[in-house]
């Protein structure tokens, strides 16, 4: 994959409202066509690259017939399963995502959830609002056991932070294995119901695929310890929401911290909103103050590689729906 010598590549940039950062650097390297979804077909005519800054727009699928000259599509998101479609999967277009850019921030968020629940920060805040000085005891996290579903960059960063505070960490992924650099052991996610019973925290950081959709169902939740907590920073559809609601109401599990839900946003009046043992945040775990610039830098770095004809970073295995790393 290379650009003809002497010709600048044509990059169509799909955005919704704000333009991407580092646009001046992109313009130094390529001819840039800025477009919103309604102008994408025209912008892609003769273009080599689509930079999908509007991460979850379905516009590429809707204008697929106009994408005949594309060699590379880059998406400013890590999870791309909802963006893939048959024509794109079968094509020779190289597809890259933003894997790794948000991983540390999301891992920090997960650790924050663990500390919040172990130290009952929500309970302290409620008592503060009532101006009540009520002494309680809390749990330590040293020695607690976590099972992280998803052994990609987010799962591994999470495991490293957990280990740093003295937790024991195992993983679950597409294939099980007895040894791993970051996990005590990696279970097959197909066997999740038989693996969860000894863990204090079940953390979901996996991509959404046909194999992981609804992975945490009533059987998995029933197999968890009554004192265990569920944390989801992956995708809302990894969990069967009705089954989770029932498990929390019945006391089958002790609590949940959810940065993603299904449906999203969670409808007004849904029972999860009012549960004292549930923390809900609006799909923000990776969004730090500087994350947009970090996403922009990744594309610029990849664009330089594209122009030089070198392998790109974060190439998605389109048949799997994520970057496959040995």
Q: Please identify which of the residues 8, 160, 163, 283 carries the catalytic annotation.
A: 283
Known catalytic membership, residue 8: no
Where in the chain does DSSP place strands (E)? 10-14, 31-35, 49-52, 72-75, 94-96, 145-149, 168-173, 186-188, 201-204, 229-232, 255-258, 278-280
- 71 has catalytic annotation: no
Catalytic residue among 139, 264, 308, 310: 264
Exposure string for 296-322, b = 16+ CB within 10 A, e = fewer = bebbbebbeebbeeeebbbbbebeebb
Nearest Cα neighbor of 111 from 136, 152, 141 is 141
Is 283 catalytic? The answer is yes
Considering the candidates 74, 99, 156, 235, report the single residue annotated as catalytic. Answer: 235
Tokens 């010709």: give the residue.
7
CA distances from 286 to 101, 109, 283 (A): 9, 8, 8
List strands edge to edge, sheet with 72-75.
31-35, 10-14, 49-52, 72-75, 94-96
Give the residue numbers marked as catalytic.
235, 264, 283
């Amino acid at each position: 994959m290379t650009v003809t010598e002497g010709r600048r590549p044509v990059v169509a940039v799909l955005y919704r409202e704000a333009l991407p950062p580092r646009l001046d650097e992109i313009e130094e390297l390529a001819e840039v066509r800025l477009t919103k979804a309604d102008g994408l077909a025209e912008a892609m005519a003769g273009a080599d690259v689509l930079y999908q800054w509007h991460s979850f727009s379905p516009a590429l699928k809707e204008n697929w017939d106009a994408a005949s000259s594309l060699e590379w599509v880059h998406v400013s998101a890590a999870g791309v399963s909802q963006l893939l479609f048959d024509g794109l999967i079968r094509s020779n277009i190289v597809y890259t995502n933003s894997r790794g850019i948000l991983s540390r921030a999301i891992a920090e968020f997960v650790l924050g959830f663990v500390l919040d629940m172990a130290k009952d920060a929500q309970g302290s805040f409620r008592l503060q609002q009532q101006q009540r000085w009520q002494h309680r005891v809390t749990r330590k996290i040293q020695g607690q056991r976590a099972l992280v579903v998803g052994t990609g960059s987010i799962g591994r960063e999470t495991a490293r932070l957990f280990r740093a505070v003295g937790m024991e960490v195992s993983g679950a992924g597409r294939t099980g294995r007895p040894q791993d650099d970051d996990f005590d052991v990696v279970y097959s996610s197909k066997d999740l119901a038989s693996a969860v019973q000894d863990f204090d925290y079940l953390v979901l950081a996996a991509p959404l695929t046909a194999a992981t959709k609804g992975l945490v169902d009533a059987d998995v939740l029933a197999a968890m310890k009554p004192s265990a907590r569920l944390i989801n920073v992956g995708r809302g559809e990894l969990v069967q929401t009705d089954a989770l609601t029932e498990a929390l109401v019945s006391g089958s599990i002790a609590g949940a911290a959810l940065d993603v839900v299904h449906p999203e946003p969670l409808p007004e009046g849904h029972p999860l909103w009012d549960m004292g043992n549930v923390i809900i945040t609006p799909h923000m775990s990776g969004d730090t103050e500087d994350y947009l610039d970090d996403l922009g830098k990744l594309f610029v770095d990849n664009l330089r590689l594209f122009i030089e004809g070198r392998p790109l970073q974060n190439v998605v295995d389109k048949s799997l729906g994520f970057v496959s790393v040995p």
